[in-house]
Amino acid sequence: MPGLTSPAKSPDAWWRNGVIYQIYPRSFQDANGDGIGDLTGIRQRLGYVAALGVDAIWISPFFPSPMADFGYDVADYCDVDPRFGSLADFDALMAEAKALGLRVILDLVPNHTSDRHPWFVQSRSSRTDPKRDWYLWRDPAADGGPPNNWLSNFGGPAWTLDPLTGQYYAHMFLKEQPDLNWRYPDVRRAIYDAMRFWLRRGVDGFRVDVIYHLIKDQLFRNNPPNPAFIPGGDPAHRLLPEYTADLPEVQSIVMEMRRVLDEFGSAESSRVLIGEVYLPVQRLMNYYGMDAAGVLRGAQLPFNFHLIGAKWQAQVIDRLVREYEAALPPGAAPNWVLGNHDKPRIASRVGAAGARLAAMLLLTLRGTPTLYYGDELGMTDVPIPMTEVQDPFEKREPGRGLGRDPQRTPMLWHADEQNAGFTATRPWLRLGSDWQSLAVDRQLGEERSILQLYRRLLSLRRHSRSLHEGAWSPIGARGNVLMYARGDGPERLVVLLNFGREQASVDLQALRHASQSLLHVWLSTLQDRDEQLAEAVPLRPEEGLILGRGHRPG
Ligand code: GLC
């Protein structure tokens, strides 16, 4: 029966166009009254997340950890830290997520463990311990100092001398986060088994922490100086990470990880590998893992962070999207990110009106967007007084603006409850002074809040085929207005984003050329217009518009 033999087209590749919502578990909802969020808290708030209209949650690490780097220092890959709950709480969360139609993505931190992980405790115990080679141990340099010039991403050398055995161990982050030796097969096997542990529990994929750092130079050569380094900037940028990041051998590991996921599905599996990769566009593309036959065997979604660093100008964003789209290997799924737990929040970077424009940009580009919790409320970075600083990065490099506490403050649920309903006790990080006006319940009661804009954009994405999976075609940037189209034929729609602080006007004739008959404003970032358009489209300062034919779907 010929009709039945043709392979189904991407039956379950939800991650191609789905929307991912990142939850920082310490800050989402505290259910056990200790001022820190937990898994039960997340479960209680899943209804909100599902109603927002996203497809998946990614939860930052909740594994047992001494919390030197708030969970990115894992002491056991296959359990839950008691501060966050238990495995039973996790299973309950999974069940609730499935019932609500939400996928669950975990954070895998394979580059390093905690220094309290039993593997490291054993490894450091003697030079001849069977686990010695699980980590990167080197003799001191001739002068007794570190073996080479490698720098920690958190400032200072990437080496710490362990007096017990007289050798240094490598750590790309804190000294409490020793780097695993990914050239050693047992290490790979152990981490892949941890992945299988969670896959068997039903998780839909992993976001892999600093995946591009996993392999370091076998000869431990010095990193070269960075000619573009500006004194006073992030001290880790003093050197170029030539021998510590993005080494060619890392690609085989990415592919191995993907194969572990594929054990639990098909090539177009519903399990997804997302890589945390801060690299220029061209180098980022390697992480899709295209083989000689053109098959993509790497991460389905190497995170595209380029909107985070890009100058907030129509021409710049236009160039960036074109460059990224053009660089994608055939069949690769694009993805976009505005912020995360490591970067200043979008509303602080571009202002309140800009944050609305950014929401429209993120949710109308092609591919998979990832939202950072609270950005849908327009939350801004909260200044944290020195005495309340939690982040080790800020503690090590104070006052440089590198600390990440400001973007990790508690989610704002209720305008009339203590601590916005996040916790009944003192929260681990303070709330911003504007918390009441930003709270979820307050914004749900306002017709034109940024939260309503997010909900409308997400609903439109879901109901409009063009937005959900249609092609992306540039129209260009004229002055401050970025213009592009989504989809083909009569369903084609146009997005206009005015990055400027002044009014702008776009000639409808020019747009007609791009899309024969564009008649309606489907959505404005200001959510106050719904008109048919005549000759020219007036745009207010920092206004974004989605123009479609006929009435808005959904
Ligand atoms: C990643 C995480 C960051 C963490 C670091 C070390 O960049 O996103 O929060 O501090 O890795 O694990």
Q: What is the pLDDT of residues 524-553, one digit of tens each?
A: 999 999 888 878 899 999 999 999 988 888
What is the H or E stretch that residue 315 is in?
helix 314-327
Cα 402 to middle of ligand 1, angstroms: 13
Whole-Å CA distances, 276 to 8, 342, 356, 483? 30, 11, 25, 29
Return the pLDDT at 516. 59
Kindly tell me the number of DSSP H helices and DSSP E strands found in the chain: 17, 18
Spatial distance between the Cα atoms of 58 and 190, rounded to a whole number of angstroms:
22
Task: DSSP letter for 46, please.
Answer: H
CB atoms within 10 A of CB 375: 24
Spatial distance between the Cα atoms of 434 and 440, rounded to a whole number of angstroms:
13
Confidence of residue 511 (pLDDT cuts 50, 70, 90): confident
CA torsion through residues 308, 310, 315, 321, sign: negative
Whether the Cβ atoms of residue 450 and residue 443 lie closer than 8 Å to each other: yes
Give yes or no: 242 in active site. Answer: no
Return the pLDDT at 1. 29
Return the pLDDT at 531. 84
Cα 71 to middle of ligand 1, angstroms: 9
Q: Report which protein residue has its CA nearest ligand 1's atom 3.
A: 342
Ligand 1 site, residue 342, Cβ cutoff 6 A: yes
Cα 209 to middle of ligand 1, angstroms: 6
Spatial distance between the Cα atoms of 414 and 373, rounded to a whole number of angstroms:
15
Cα 72 to middle of ligand 1, angstroms: 6
Q: What is the pLDDT of residues 281-330, one digit of tens each?
A: 999 999 999 999 999 999 999 999 999 999 999 999 999 999 999 999 99
Mean per-residue pLDDT for 108-114? Answer: 98
The CA-based angle 471-474-478, given to 5 degrees, is 155
What is the H or E stretch that residue 475 is in?
strand 472-478
Return the pLDDT at 444. 98
Ligand 1 site, residue 72, Cβ cutoff 6 A: yes
Ligand 1 site, residue 109, Cβ cutoff 6 A: yes
Spatial distance between the Cα atoms of 168 and 161, rounded to a whole number of angstroms:
4
Q: Report which protein residue has its CA nearest ligand 1's atom 12.
A: 72
Is the predicted pLDDT of residue 138 greater than 60, yes or no? Answer: yes
DSSP string, 347-386: HHHHHHHHHHHHHHHHHHSSSEEEEETTGGGT--PPP--G
Q: Which of 139, 193, 263, 502 is catalytic?
A: 263
What's the whole-model pTM score?
0.96
Give yes or no: 107 in active site. Answer: no
Specify whether the backbone of 303 is left (phi greater than 0), alpha (psi in -120 to 50) or beta. Answer: beta
Whether the Cβ atoms of residue 291 and residue 322 lie closer than 8 Å to each other: no
Ligand 1 site, residue 441, Cβ cutoff 6 A: no
Spatial distance between the Cα atoms of 512 and 534, rounded to a whole number of angstroms:
11
Return the pLDDT at 512. 67
Q: What is the pLDDT of residues 73-87, one digit of tens each?
A: 999 999 999 999 999
Question: Looking at ligand 1, which atom is closest to the CA of residue 393?
Answer: 10
Whole-Å CA distances, 339 to 80, 307, 344? 26, 9, 7
Return the pLDDT at 3. 29
Mean per-residue pLDDT for 42-46? Answer: 98
Question: Looking at ligand 1, which atom is closest to the CA of residue 111?
Answer: 12
Confidence of residue 12 (pLDDT cuts 50, 70, 90): low
Helical residues (DSSP H) of 30-178, grouped into ranges: 39-44, 46-52, 87-99, 118-123
Is the predicted pLDDT of residue 353 greater than 60, yes or no? Answer: yes
Q: Which of 55, 89, 209, 391 is catalytic?
A: 209
Residue from 154, 207, 209 whose mutation best tests the ligand 1 pocket (most atoms within 8 A of CB) = 209
Q: What is the pLDDT of residues 25-35, one digit of tens each?
A: 999 999 999 99
Q: What is the pLDDT of residues 400-430, one digit of tens each?
A: 999 999 999 999 999 999 999 999 999 999 9
Confidence of residue 488 (pLDDT cuts 50, 70, 90): confident
Closest by CA position to 394, among listed 93, 386, 526: 386
Mean per-residue pLDDT for 55-71? Answer: 98
Ligand 1 site, residue 69, Cβ cutoff 6 A: yes
Ligand 1 site, residue 107, Cβ cutoff 6 A: no
Counted residue by residue, the chain has a size of 554
Ligand 1 site, residue 412, Cβ cutoff 6 A: no
Token pair, residue 73, equals: 């220092």
Token pair, residue 258, equals: 């993907």
Question: Looking at ligand 1, which atom is closest to the CA of residue 73?
Answer: 12
Return the pLDDT at 513. 60
Q: Which of 13-17, 144-148, 408-412, 525-529 has the lowest mean pLDDT?
A: 13-17
Ligand 1 site, residue 24, Cβ cutoff 6 A: no
Ligand 1 site, residue 303, Cβ cutoff 6 A: no
Spatial distance between the Cα atoms of 372 and 162, rounded to a whole number of angstroms:
38
The CA-based angle 290-295-299, given to 5 degrees, is 55
Mean per-residue pLDDT for 271-276? Answer: 97
Is the predicted pLDDT of residue 8 greater than 80, yes or no? Answer: no
Helix %, strand %, coil % for the chain, to 5? 35, 15, 50
Q: Report which protein residue has its CA nearest ligand 1's atom 9.
A: 342
Question: Looking at ligand 1, which atom is closest to the CA of residue 109?
Answer: 12
Whether the Cβ atoms of residue 172 and residue 159 lie closer than 8 Å to each other: no
Return the pLDDT at 496. 97
What is the H or E stretch that residue 319 is in?
helix 314-327
Spatial distance between the Cα atoms of 470 and 333, rounded to a whole number of angstroms:
12
